[in-house]
Amino acid sequence: MKLITTHDRSFQKELHKILTRANLDMASVTPVVQEILQEVKERGDEALLAHVARFDGWTPHSIRDLMVDPDLMVEAYAKLDEELRDALNIAFQRIEAYHRKQLPKSWLDFEANGTVLGQKVGPVERAGLYIPGGKAAYPSSLLMNAIPAMVAGVEEIIVTTPTPNGQINDLLLAACYLCNIRHVYRIGGASAIGALAFGTQTIPKVDVIAGPGNIFVATAKKLVYGEVNIDMVAGPSEIGILADESANPVYVAADLLSQAEHDEMASSILVTPSRKLADRVAQEVERLLEQLERREIASTSIRERGAIIVVDSMEEGVAIMNQIAPEHLEILTANPFALLPHIRHAGAIFLGSQTPEPIGDYIAGPNHTLPTGGTARFYSPLSVEHFLKKSSIIAFSSEAMEELGWAAAALARAEGLQAHALSVEVRLKDRP
């Protein structure tokens, strides 16, 4: 694993590489994605059937072959071993409880002059969830995307997931059953995003698309934004760790690898003022790599996009980590809560040696769909609010119009919008 210090001549160059990790080559795949989206928009179900045969290695004979029978979800849940079923239910309950606390309320404010101002909060009618199914299947992503939509009150949830060679993960189906999802389609990639965004003869158009995916999925989501809303354009997974000399090097190494095994493009960064810890972690990473089934993926990630940065002080380390703005940030120090007020940018913050990032992936409760590539500077985790929309409420009485209308008319005329001013002034003139 690459080890650098802030005094190395190459430090600024290496830091720049970390900060620009989000520069995915979307331009190279955009023409292909645009073509796929256009085909889905024009040909609907016919295009979906052709794309599944082309990309997923199996040939559906009709659109019904792309529909997952809800009975399969019931069967998948029923045949889970007891331990796994219990784990799935614990995750569901904790995620739901956390997201219920996020629900905003509608409100009305009555002013003395008869003005009523307020906000009406309500769910979108239909949400589309993209759940990866290529290199690995992620039932946890189904829970993390479906539960906030359910809590928001979304009436209809549509799930799409790729099924290489026609195979679908039983645990994903069990999670769908637990979330009472009835509409699951065996479609992946940009085709699925197109189907959700534009609708087809079979799949209805949704209002919001959420869920992670590869560069083709991310590019497709970016291109259909405006046709529908999206959660975010997320890139490969990443972890940043702030650690001092008190940290256990085995813990740190394991946590770095927890993200590296996701994808060759995943990023794992340790920042520490302890050279001793840095050296030990580098050794432990190499030792633990040999134990992983996905070691080829993890080793490529660690080699090409991983780094250990040795700083002069924890203050300097915090400043660098705020520049990086990682998707996941672990603070493994003697007093992690002391650093919390100084963290400005991170998707999720994990405090203390007993809080590894995978706890957040599965059962802690907060959402694991997080901003990547430094976008934690302005994006937030997926939440109930992604599936809600708000309407402003305004009601003026005659008294309020008489008291305040002149100000609106004056501002309208100053902007050169005569009809705007007139709309107010005719009411002011119409006083007895």
Which residues participate in catalysis according to the annotation? 327-328
Are residues 3 and 308 in contact, defined by beta-carbon separation less than 8 angstroms? Answer: yes
A 10 A CB-CB count for 112 gives 7
Burial of 220 (0-12, 13-18, 19+ CB in 10 A): buried
Residue whose C-alpha is closest to residue 189's, from 158, 166, 156, 221: 221
State CA 381 to chain mean position distance: 6
Q: Is 338 helix (H, G, I), strand (E, B) or coil?
A: helix
H-assigned helices in 306-397: 314-324, 336-339, 357-362
Are residues 362 and 350 in contact, defined by beta-carbon separation less than 8 angstroms? Answer: no
Looking up tokens 């100053």 gives 414
Rounded Cα gap, residues 83 and 85, in angstroms: 5
Q: How far is CA 112 from CA 108, 117, 353, 427, 431, in A?
A: 13, 12, 54, 20, 20
Rounded Cα gap, residues 152 and 148, in angstroms: 6
